[in-house]
Amino acid sequence: MKDLGNYRKSYDKSELLETSIPEDPINLFHKWFHEVEAYDGVGEVNAMTVSTLGLDGFPKSRVVLLKHFNEEGFIFYTNYDSEKGRAVLQNPNVCLSFFWPVAERQIIIKGIAEKTPKTVSDNYFASRPDGSKLGAMVSPQSEVIPDRTFLENKLIALETSFEGKEIPRPENWGGFLVKPISVEFWQGRPNRLHDRIIYTISDDYSWKTQRLAP
């Protein structure tokens, strides 16, 4: 068995203090997101882990791409009939997490997910390359399939069928907007005394901030 006990590093790139944070967590998220984006060699800064409670009662986490964020919350897209989609529709309490090791930062978001309006899903789907549009139509996401040829043959058939035509968004494919109820920001610090600041939404929709022990 490989011993990982000596996999250690010192965290010393930044700090997170109450005196320098905004009142709204979305503003701090925006700041951190674009700071990480500015680092050289960072790929897919918008990659996030989405955790749901599955229909089988087990939690499940997977990495998806954040496609939009604003004062309302965070949007990602999926097949609503997938394992992930069905889990969210049954239990909309989800967790999003970002890990940016280059900046020694994490963000953990608890929120309530809801389908985006059809116009939002339509507009995003229309912006995708044709290959991605057809891929969304081809894949019966999360279902068991016989082999890869099954997908490739379906793709070829759809390419022929939609040649020179507009590709419509499938009804079972669209966005989820996750409206945050808490947002935790984690900044690595020396000696494992990491900074953790959590924003929690109040009944009047203002945000309360607290420091958590590392």
Comparing C-alpha atoms, which of 199, 182, 178 is closest to residue 50?
Answer: 178
Q: What's the CA gap between 87 and 178, in Å, rounded? A: 14
> Which neighbouring-strand residues pair with 178?
74, 113
DSSP single-letter state for residue 195: E
**Closest C-alpha among 179, 182, 178 to residue 25:** 182
Beta-bridge partner residues of 175: 77
Q: Is 192 a catalytic residue?
A: yes
CA distances from 106 to 30, 97, 185, 190 (A): 13, 7, 6, 16
Q: Catalytic one among 86, 192, 196, 211?
A: 192
CB contact set of 76 (below 8 Å; sequence gap of 6+): 48, 50, 64, 65, 66, 67, 175, 176, 178
Side-chain-side CA neighbours of 93 within 13 Å: the count stands at: 3
Rounded CA Rg of the chain = 20
Residue type, 20: S
Q: Which residues are tagged catalytic? A: 192
